[in-house]
Amino acid sequence: MRLEDKVALITGGSSGIGKATALLFAGEGAKVVIADINDEAAQKTINEITAQGHRASFIHADVSRSDDCRSMVEHTETAFGQLDILFNNAGIMDSRDDNAETTDEETWDLTMNINAKGVFLGCKYGIPALKRAGGGSIINTASFVSLLGAATPQIAYTASKGAVLSLTRELAVLHAREGIRVNALCPGPLRTELLMKFLNTEEKKQKRLVHIPMGRFGEAEEMAKAALFLASDDSSYVTGTEFLVDGGITAAYVTPE
């Protein structure tokens, strides 16, 4: 098992990438803590993990709140003794998010507070815990739109994920010699509830699909496998990367036939 004796804290672990990753990490030997605001869905994920004979715990946490982020790290160390893997995955994609002219300040602030500030706060409190454990891996969920403009306007989301990517690079440089690796997982368009609620018409879906050389949306389980690589010792010489798992969308110049 690739994560045997490791402890992983996953934000946004009740659904999508977070849930798929929690299940996979547990199956690979990690003790898993899920931090989320959706108590019911998160507990269902915990129940799935424990039913398979693995150890897991849940704490309610809003990643945009400093006290909650401090508490989720403290909870992890109290429950399982240490923190080895921090997956800052929680995020939103607000349906009101559009272009700069039409997106309101409330949508901008909410998106930045969760998607960007939430990663900062996770690292603020998580890095000292990783140091106490002798090092570890931080994975921050960015996006392919960290590198490309989105075909469907989502200005706040795109800006927030660009911030995550820049934050990841700086943290990787600052903490590399402390045994802490920091990488950004950059998914392409996925068949998750988060994106499907945003791409809520067939026209919006096709605007994305036409640019993906593989011709399909990715699956949360595919992102979980990428996160497993970044969390494990298989990526021991990997830090500061933009780890693209995007069906080829960032490599495409023209629309595929």
Domain residue ranges of the chain, discontinuous segments joined by +: 7-244
DSSP structure class, residue 101: T
What average pLDDT does this structure show over 150-179?
A: 95
Radius of gyration of the chain (CA): 17
Report the range out of 20-29, 91-100, 199-208 with the highest average pLDDT. 20-29
Would the pLDDT of 66 be above 80?
A: yes
Cβ atoms < 10 Å from Cβ of 139: 27
What average pLDDT does this structure show over 86-107?
A: 96
Classify residue 136 as left (phi > 0), alpha (psi -120 to 50) or beta.
left
Contact 84, 136 (CB under 8 A): yes
Q: What is the pLDDT of residue 257?
A: 52
Q: What is the pLDDT of residue 205?
A: 79
Would the pLDDT of 256 be above 70?
A: no
Q: What percent of the chain lies above the pLDDT cut of 90?
A: 84
39-50 confidence digits (pLDDT tens): 999 999 999 999
State residue 9 phi and psi, 5-degree precision.
-110, 125
According to CATH, what is the number of the domain 7-244?
3.40.50.720
As to burial, measured by CB atoms within 10 angstroms (0-12 exposed, 13-18 middle, 19+ buried), residue 56 is: buried
- Return all residues near 179 (Cβ < 8 A) that are at least 6 apart: 134, 135, 136
What average pLDDT does this structure show over 196-203?
A: 78
State the Cα–Cα distance between residues 134 and 222, nearest whole angstrom: 29
Q: What is the pLDDT of residue 65?
A: 98
**Residue 137, both tokens:** 């891996």
State the Cα–Cα distance between residues 74 and 80, nearest whole angstrom: 10
Catalytic residues: 157
As to burial, measured by CB atoms within 10 angstroms (0-12 exposed, 13-18 middle, 19+ buried), residue 190 is: buried
Cβ atoms < 10 Å from Cβ of 237: 7
Query: What pTM was computed for the model?
Result: 0.95
Would the pLDDT of 167 be above 80?
A: yes
Q: What is the pLDDT of residue 201?
A: 83
What average pLDDT does this structure show over 114-136?
A: 98
Contact 77, 9 (CB under 8 A): no
Would the pLDDT of 7 be above 70?
A: yes
Q: Give 254's pLDDT tier (boundaries 50, 70, 90).
A: low
From residue 139, how far is each of 142, 157, 168, 232 by CA, in Å?
9, 18, 8, 11
**Residue 79, both tokens:** 């429950």
Per DSSP, what are the bridge partners of residue 32? 8, 56
Would the pLDDT of 33 be above 60?
A: yes
Contact 194, 93 (CB under 8 A): yes
Angle between helices 220-231 and 16-27 (to 10 degrees): 50
- Return all residues near 112 (Cβ < 8 A) that are at least 6 apart: 156, 159, 160, 163
From residue 15, how far is each of 131, 149, 191, 206 by CA, in Å?
29, 26, 12, 24
Comparing 1-5, 206-210, 230-234, 242-246, the range with the smallest average pLDDT is 206-210
Cβ atoms < 10 Å from Cβ of 253: 4
Q: What is the pLDDT of residue 168?
A: 98
